[in-house]
Homo-oligomer: A and B are copies of this chain.
């Protein structure tokens, strides 16, 4: 069984988090997690193959943006909203709000698959 590294709340680094959130695919993942519910890796409906999804989820996890929980053959991914809010108050909300009014999601999905 693999150990999945997650940085502690106090170790969250601003540039690292901003970098993790600066990729369109990863922004889409975070947007889909913003309801607060968990999703499995296969459940994101992303326009990239599964090994690429795995790479992006790992980047988000190692930066501290998401938490990954193993159950059986699946990984349940959730937003670390509380930790992010503690360290960077208002940041996640501002990014999600900006993302939702932008057309970035549409740009990404118009060449890929749907919700």
* Chain A residues close to B by CB (< 8 Å): 13-16, 18-19, 21-24, 27, 87-91, 93-95, 97-99, 102, 104
Copies of this chain per assembly:
2
Chain A contact residues, majority secondary structure: helix
Q: Which residue of B has the minimal Cβ distance to A19?
A: B22
Choose from B18, B27, B98 the contact partner of A21 (Cβ within 8 Å): B18
Contact in complex: A99, B22 (CB < 8 Å): no
Contact in complex: B18, A24 (CB < 8 Å): no
Contact in complex: B13, A104 (CB < 8 Å): yes
Closest-CB distance, A96 to chain B (whole angstroms): 10
With A14-B95, A90-B90 known, 20 other A-B pairs at CB within 8 A are A13-B102, A13-B104, A14-B98, A14-B99, A14-B104, A15-B22, A15-B24, A16-B22, A18-B19, A18-B21, A22-B22, A88-B94, A88-B97, A88-B98, A89-B97, A90-B93, A90-B94, A90-B97, A91-B91, A94-B94
Contact in complex: A18, B104 (CB < 8 Å): no
Q: Give Cα A102–Cα B15 distance, bound, in whole angstroms.
A: 10
Residues in chain B near residue A95, CB distance under 8 A: 14, 18, 88, 91
